[in-house]
């Protein structure tokens, strides 16, 4: 029992709690906020795992941009209200059962089949070494240049698409 | 010293919760958010493995996933807005025109 | 067809095939062109064909005599060659066969000429002039077949001719197949023809069995080879062969028990009776035994049976002849009786005597039959002259008779052959009378006519070797003279017993001239084999073929006894029939004294009735039973219709159609469709349009796959 483990467990509890909170919350805004908390927790995890860049990216993009977008739309659509009665009565029980089964399977696999890969060392100074970051950048722009460029085009397409979707509607009217 | 298995179990749990969210909730936005949760859990697992195997591949992969997730959210939310305009509701049970 | 010469051709041997082909040519010409010829032309062609065969016979006989009796074998064509079996159509020219050839073609030609005149009147009485040509076609066919029979070099060729003459007998007896002898529509003539053919067939069956045994035991059909092999073969086979041949002889030569066809064969026209059933065909059996002399002399037991058969037949038939009223029937039974004499003779081993009697009998029996035909024609003419009111010397013209048969326009049926209607014809038909007289004296065996010499030789041989046969034959000779005398008194003497007899007219020369030739032969025929030293011509002639001939000198004792018997018989017949001539309607004088015996004689001892009761009727009943009950009712109706067809229908309709097809297969096929519908109806409900349920399915799939991976 060392500090890393305790830290991990605390954060894990938080992450799961927020996730469940997002799941069960009746208010969509509350769900969104829970999710933000979850994302931040995950970002801390990244830091623990020695991936500072990703941690920052997570906070910036996920928690900062995506969730904000979500909150915009939630506000726009006034989606707090919940409509009528249940149409698929068997959906919820079956889903819960399946969820548990999934967990059980995953646990079984991990416990019986997993080979010990190793332990995560807490990030030392080497993690914040600008050399590692430089290596990451090099790897990104050399080995994975093509996906990088394609991703930029993807983002462009997404932008254009979002605008087209909105605009066309208006033009028709 | 944390075993990687713990990270993986955590990832699995988060994934399951996300899956449950997709299945159980009727609100389209909540469903979307659950999807993001699932993506996130996958990212966590990948970074964990990357850390153990001392390779940058995991982080780079997550980088791209985040970028794609962002794009996807943008377009998806635009779609939901459009659907709301025609159906006046974001209850996915209402969107069953493709009934067999 | 190759002409292969067996020996160096001497003399006229190469003409041998014309024996057969001349009559065949005649028959073909008459067959193809007969309808266009005049009657004279048809008769001329046929008689020339038969005459050509006679001339060839004469030439062949001269060749044989020039060769000192050596046999010539002339092969005309190869027939069957299988393995070791080799059968050819070869002509055998030796003294025995030339003798037969001469008799057949000589008497045959005379009868052809007679038949021209006879058939001219007969087709007009029966009202079918177009049938004239057919008669001569059949007659020529007969001559051809008989020639094949007598000239054959093997038992097989003999049998071919044997069958051929049987066929011609059938065709000729049934010449007027739709009528009976009196010209009325009836089955009678065709039944008589059938009877002849079937009875002959039974005889042929015997001949065939003999042939089979012969081939199996002795290895050949050819005469020389058979006789040579017979010397070393086991006697049992020879006995079998000879006795089965006897059956054939009994059929063809009308011996007991197969003689029954010959009296019925009188249904044919008179020339047929004369040629076939007196002179030639019926003698084929005698010829067969004579030819097989070497076989018969090996087995005395069989000889005895043959002799006894002949003797008993001779006596039996003679007794029947006494009670007959039809002029031709008397002669028919007389023929059977005389054939019995011949068969007895050859059975005893007196082959020369048998052949001698064959020749003389051909002469005088043909004469008698043809004269009887003349009598019948005279009676018919008288009957028609009477009906149409013509006077006696108006010759019967052609075409004056329009109606067929005698019954319709005259109110009652008139039988021109019934002796009870005749009487006193001596005055109205004198030529016929004298001819008939000559024939009668020859038949009765009165010196110096031909019959005396030949019959006497038989009796002499019998007295020396077979006393029982001698006794039977002597009694038969007595009866022979008696019934012939009876016939003479009844037909030609006394008063006319019917108007037709009173108006009977003599026949034309074309009928009487051939008879005169025959009469001359009947008188002089004895010269062929006079039983004195230095003569015996026929004996010497046949010795070339038969090798062993017993030439007997005249025994005055035997000759005397037979002459006395004959004269006594004639005297007795005069006493009964001639002294007080019968009047119209009076029953036969013998009926009273002999009573039951005479009834038996009248009715031919009920032999035919016996055959019907024991053989023919049961056979008919059996075949009716087999046909109606077994074949039709059982097989057809029950078995085929009910069992087989019914079962088949049941199987296809009920079993297969209803159960297998409808219940089984249809339900299965329909069921498949139903199941598919049900499945798809169920499967359709997965598509409910809700995204969440689709997502659930996805998760379910993931779980299942993971589970499979775990469990694997």
A107 touches chain C (CB under 8 A): no
- Chain A neighbours (≥3 Cβ pairs under 8 A) are B, C
- Chain B neighbours (≥3 Cβ pairs under 8 A) are A, C
Strand ranges (DSSP E) for chain A?
A: 119-120
Mean pLDDT lowest among C27-41, C96-110, C397-411: C397-411
Cβ contact, residue pair C696, A108, below 8 Å = no
Local confidence band at C667 (pLDDT 50, 70, 90 cut-offs)? confident
Q: Which distant-in-sequence residues (6+ apart) come within 8 Å of B98 by Cβ?
A: C687, C689
User: b vs e for C61-94, b when ≥16 Cβ sit within 10 Å of the residue's Cβ?
Assistant: bebbeebebebbbbbbeeeeeeeeeebbbbbbbb
Mean of the pLDDT values across residues C78-104? 86
- Chain C neighbours (≥3 Cβ pairs under 8 A) are A, B
Q: Which distant-in-sequence residues (6+ apart) come within 8 Å of C290 by Cβ?
A: C96, C346, C351, C354, C355, C546
- C612: left (phi > 0), else alpha (psi -120 to 50), else beta? alpha
Give me the residue from B22, B92, B99 closest to C688, CB to CB.
B99
Partners of C710 on chain A (C-beta within 8 Å) are: 105, 108-109
By CA distance, what is C691's nearest residue in B?
B92
Q: From CA C141, how far away is CA C164, in angstroms rounded? A: 8
- C536: left (phi > 0), else alpha (psi -120 to 50), else beta? left
By CA distance, what is C681's nearest residue in B?
B100
Cβ contact, residue pair C688, B26, below 8 Å = no
Cβ contact, residue pair C692, B19, below 8 Å = no
C321 neighbors C426 (Cβ within 8 angstroms): no
By CA distance, what is B93's nearest residue in A?
A87
- CA dist C339 → C250, C277, C336, C636 (Å): 10, 10, 5, 50
DSSP type of residue C154: B
**pLDDT for the residue C203:** 93
Above 80 in pLDDT, residue C411?
A: no
Partners of B26 on chain C (C-beta within 8 Å) are: 692
B69 neighbors A66 (Cβ within 8 angstroms): yes
Is the bond leading into C662 cis (omega within 30 degrees of zero)?
no
Cβ contact, residue pair C690, A87, below 8 Å = yes
- Tell me the two tokens of residue C426: 């001596």
B20 touches chain A (CB under 8 A): yes
Q: From CA C454, how far away is CA C527, in angstroms rounded? A: 10
Work out the minimum CA distance from C674 to partner chain A, whole angstroms.
29
Distance of CA C120 to the CA centre of its chain: 25
Helix (H) or strand (E) holding C92: strand C85-93
By CA distance, what is B93's nearest residue in C?
C690
Local confidence band at C398 (pLDDT 50, 70, 90 cut-offs)? very low
Mean of the pLDDT values across residues C256-260? 89
Above 80 in pLDDT, residue C24?
A: yes
Most confident of A157-166, B40-49, C591-600, C609-618: B40-49
pLDDT tens for the 100 residues of chain B, in order? 667 888 999 999 999 999 999 998 888 899 999 999 999 999 999 999 888 888 888 899 999 999 999 999 999 999 988 888 888 777 887 777 776 5
Closest to C522 measured CA to CA, from C397, C359, C649, C663: C359
Q: From CA C432, how far away is CA A140, in angstroms rounded? A: 157
What is the three-class DSSP state of C653? helix
B58 neighbors B45 (Cβ within 8 angstroms): no
- C25: left (phi > 0), else alpha (psi -120 to 50), else beta? alpha
Work out the minimum CA distance from A102 to partner chain C, whole angstroms.
6
B100 touches chain C (CB under 8 A): yes
**pLDDT for the residue C40:** 86
B90 touches chain C (CB under 8 A): no
B95 touches chain C (CB under 8 A): yes
Q: Greatest CA separation found in chain B?
A: 54
Cβ contact, residue pair C692, B98, below 8 Å = no
A55 touches chain B (CB under 8 A): no
User: b vs e for C302-317, b when ≥16 Cβ sit within 10 Å of the residue's Cβ?
Assistant: bbebbbbbbbbbbbbb
Partners of C699 on chain A (C-beta within 8 Å) are: 95, 98, 102
A88 touches chain C (CB under 8 A): yes
pLDDT in tens, C612-661: 888 888 888 888 888 887 777 777 777 787 778 888 887 887 777 777 77
Mean of the pLDDT values across residues C408-435? 75
Q: From CA A26, how far away is CA A14, in angstroms rounded? A: 20
**pLDDT for the residue C453:** 86
Claim: this prediction has a pTM higher than 0.90: no
Above 50 in pLDDT, residue C406?
A: no
**pLDDT for the residue A122:** 66
Which of B39, B67, B87 would best serve as a mutation to test chain A binding (most A beta carbons within 10 A)?
Answer: B67
Helix (H) or strand (E) holding C88: strand C85-93
Cβ contact, residue pair A105, C696, below 8 Å = no
Distance of CA C65 to the CA centre of its chain: 33
Name the phi and psi angles at B91, rounded to 5.
Answer: -85, 120
Task: Give the count of Cβ contacts less than 8 A between chain A and B.
Answer: 221
- CA dist B63 → A136, B69, C145, C325 (Å): 11, 10, 128, 149
Work out the minimum CA distance from B90 to partner chain C, whole angstroms.
13
Partners of B98 on chain C (C-beta within 8 Å) are: 687, 689
Cβ contact, residue pair B92, C690, below 8 Å = yes
Tell me the percentage of chain C whose pLDDT exceeds 90: 28
Work out the minimum CA distance from A51 to partner chain C, whole angstroms.
31
Give me the residue from B19, B92, B99 closest to C687, CB to CB.
B99
Name the phi and psi angles at C689, rounded to 5.
Answer: 85, -5
Partners of A107 on chain B (C-beta within 8 Å) are: 9, 12
3-state helix, strand, coil in chain B (%, to 5): 80, 5, 15
Give me the residue from B2, B9, B44 closest to A4, CB to CB.
B2
- Tell me the two tokens of residue B19: 């899956």
**pLDDT for the residue C408:** 38
Q: From CA B79, how far away is CA B84, in angstroms rounded? A: 9
pLDDT in tens, C424-464: 888 888 888 889 999 999 998 888 888 888 888 888 888 88
Answer with the residue of higher pLDDT: A119 or B84. Answer: B84
């Amino acid at each position: 029992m060392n500090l890393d483990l305790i830290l991990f467990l605390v954060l894990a509890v938080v992450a799961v709690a927020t996730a469940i909170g997002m799941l069960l919350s009746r208010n969509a805004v509350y769900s969104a906020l829970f999710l933000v908390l979850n994302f931040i927790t995950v970002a801390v995890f990244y830091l623990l795992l020695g991936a500072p860049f990703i941690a920052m990216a997570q906070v910036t993009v996920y928690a900062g941009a995506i969730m904000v977008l979500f909150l915009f739309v939630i506000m726009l659509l006034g989606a707090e209200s919940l409509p009528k009665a249940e149409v698929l009565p068997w959906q919820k029980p079956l889903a819960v059962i399946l969820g548990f089964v999934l967990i059980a399977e995953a646990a079984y696999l991990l416990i019986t089949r997993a080979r010990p890969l190793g332990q995560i060392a807490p990030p030392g100074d080497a993690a914040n070494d600008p050399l590692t970051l430089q290596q990451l950048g090099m790897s990104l722009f050399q080995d994975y240049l093509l996906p990088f460029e394609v991703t930029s085009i993807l983002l462009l397409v997404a932008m254009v698409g979002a605008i087209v979707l909105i605009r066309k509607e208006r033009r028709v009217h | 010293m944390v075993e990687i298995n713990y990270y993986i179990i955590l990832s699995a749990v988060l994934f399951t919760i996300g899956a449950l969210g997709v299945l159980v909730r009727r609100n389209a936005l909540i469903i979307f958010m659950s999807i993001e949760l699932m993506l996130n859990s996958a990212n966590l697992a990948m970074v964990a493995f990357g850390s153990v195997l001392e390779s940058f591949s995991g982080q780079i992969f997550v980088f791209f996933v985040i970028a794609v997730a962002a794009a996807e959210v943008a377009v998806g939310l635009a779609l939901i807005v459009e659907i709301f305009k025609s159906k006046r509701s974001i209850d996915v049970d209402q969107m069953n025109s493709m009934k067999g | 067809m190759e002409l292969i010469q067996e020996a160096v051709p001497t003399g006229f041997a190469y003409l041998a095939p014309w024996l057969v082909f001349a009559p065949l040519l005649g028959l073909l010409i008459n067959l193809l062109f007969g309808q266009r010829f005049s009657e004279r032309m048809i008769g001329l062609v046929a008689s020339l064909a038969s005459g050509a065969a006679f001339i060839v016979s004469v030439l062949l006989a001269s060749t044989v005599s020039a060769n000192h009796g050596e046999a010539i074998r002339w092969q005309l064509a190869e027939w069957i060659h299988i393995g070791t079996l080799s059968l050819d159509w070869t002509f055998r020219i030796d003294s025995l066969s030339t003798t037969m050839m001469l008799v057949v073609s000589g008497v045959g030609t005379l009868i052809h000429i007679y038949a021209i005149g006879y058939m001219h009147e007969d087709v007009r009485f029966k009202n079918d002039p177009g049938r004239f040509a057919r008669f001569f076609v059949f007659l020529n066919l007969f001559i051809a077949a008989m020639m094949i029979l007598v000239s054959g070099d093997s038992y097989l060729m003999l049998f071919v001719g044997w069958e051929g003459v049987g066929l011609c007998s059938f065709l000729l007896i049934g010449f007027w197949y739709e009528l009976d002898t009196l010209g009325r529509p009836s089955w009678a003539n065709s039944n008589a023809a059938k009877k002849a053919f079937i009875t002959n067939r039974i005889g042929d069956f015997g001949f065939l069995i003999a042939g089979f045994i012969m081939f199996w035991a002795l290895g050949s059909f050819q005469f020389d080879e058979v006789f040579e092999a017979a010397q070393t073969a086991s006697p049992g086979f020879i006995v079998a062969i000879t006795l089965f041949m006897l059956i054939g002889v009994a059929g063809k030569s009308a011996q007991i028990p197969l003689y029954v066809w010959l009296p019925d064969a009188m249904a044919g026209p008179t020339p047929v009776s004369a040629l076939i059933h007196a002179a030639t065909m019926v003698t084929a059996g005698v010829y067969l035994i004579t030819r097989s002399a070497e076989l018969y002399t090996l087995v005395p037991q069989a000889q005895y049976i043959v002799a006894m058969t002949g003797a008993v037949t001779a006596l039996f038939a003679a007794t029947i002849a006494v009670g007959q009223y039809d002029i031709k029937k008397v002669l028919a039974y007389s023929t059977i009786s005389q054939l019995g004499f011949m068969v007895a003779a050859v059975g005893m081993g007196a082959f020369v005597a048998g052949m001698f009697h064959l020749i003389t009998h051909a002469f005088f029996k043909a004469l008698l039959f043809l004269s009887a035909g003349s009598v019948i024609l005279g009676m018919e003419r008288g009957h028609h002259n009477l009906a149409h009111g013509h006077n006696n010397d108006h010759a019967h013209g052609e075409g004056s008779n329009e109606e067929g048969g005698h019954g319709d326009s005259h109110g009652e049926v008139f039988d021109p052959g019934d002796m009870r209607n005749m009487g006193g014809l001596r005055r109205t038909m004198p030529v016929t009378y004298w001819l008939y007289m000559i024939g009668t004296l020859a038949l009765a065996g009165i010196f110096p006519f031909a019959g005396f010499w030949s019959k006497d030789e038989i009796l002499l041989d019998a007295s020396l070797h077979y006393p029982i046969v001698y006794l039977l034959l002597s009694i038969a000779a007595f009866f022979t003279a008696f019934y012939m005398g009876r016939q003479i008194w009844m037909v030609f003497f006394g008063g006319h017993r019917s108007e037709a007899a009173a108006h009977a007219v003599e026949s034309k020369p074309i009928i009487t001239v051939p008879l005169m030739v025959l009469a001359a032969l009947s008188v002089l025929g004895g010269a062929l084999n006079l039983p004195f030293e230095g003569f015996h011509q026929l004996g010497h002639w046949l010795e070339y073929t038969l090798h062993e001939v017993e030439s007997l000198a005249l025994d005055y004792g035997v000759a005397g006894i037979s002459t006395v018997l004959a004269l006594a018989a004639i005297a007795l017949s005069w006493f009964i029939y001639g002294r007080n001539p019968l009047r119209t309607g009076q029953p036969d004088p013998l009926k009273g004294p002999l009573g039951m015996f005479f009834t038996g004689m009248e009715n031919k001892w009920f032999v035919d009735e016996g055959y019907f009761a024991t053989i023919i009727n049961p056979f008919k009943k059996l075949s009716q039973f087999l046909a109606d009950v077994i074949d039709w009712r059982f097989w057809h109706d029950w078995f085929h219709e009910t069992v087989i067809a019914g079962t088949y229908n049941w199987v296809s309709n009920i079993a297969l159609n209803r159960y297998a097809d409808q219940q089984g297969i249809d339900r299965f096929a329909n069921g498949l469709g139903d199941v598919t519908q049900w499945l798809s109806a169920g499967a359709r409900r997965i598509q409910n349009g809700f995204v969440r349920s689709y997502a659930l399915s996805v998760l379910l799939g993931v779980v299942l796959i993971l589970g499979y991976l775990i469990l694997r």
